[in-house]
Structure 1
Amino acid sequence: MARKTSKSASKDVKRAMHKRKEGTLKSGRSGKTVKSRKQAIAIGLSEARQKGKKIAPKKRSKTKTSRK
């Protein structure tokens, strides 16, 4: 079975988690310090995507909203 993410992408996530634990991980435009574990993972994955590394695509929501 093939990997969904590359090893180098996992390293990017690991680096983001380490920076969060140190208290030096900053979020996008606002530049606030990241405290959430989930947000740190999301930042690591998005940085890996920008570098063009192999990562599973973003999950889409299954519910559809219809407007009349």
Structure 2
Amino acid sequence: MSKESKKKKWSQEVTEKSDALDLEEGIFKSDDPAKIAHSLKRSAEASDRRKSTPFRSAMSMLTFYINRAGAGLSRRQRHVLEKAKVELRKDFGREPR
């Protein structure tokens, strides 16, 4: 197994089996930023295994997914996920940057 495929397998496993959040299956493939944000918020608030605040856990998982997907993300999907960050901040009453 090459170094490249080990990396992919590792990040995919983290996304699928995060110890902090139980994610809705396929949520990062959604084309609705608000749906992604609401789902992450629900998961973060319901989790009793996270080490940080619900907001930080949800935002960290979203950022992690964007960063690890890298070049594999279409421009359109990257845009949707970046908009989901804005929606997540709104959901938690944080001022969007």
The TM-score normalised by the length of structure 2 is 0.30
State which structure, 1 or 2, has the greater radius of gyration over its C-alpha atoms: 1
The structure with the greater share of residues assigned to helix is 2
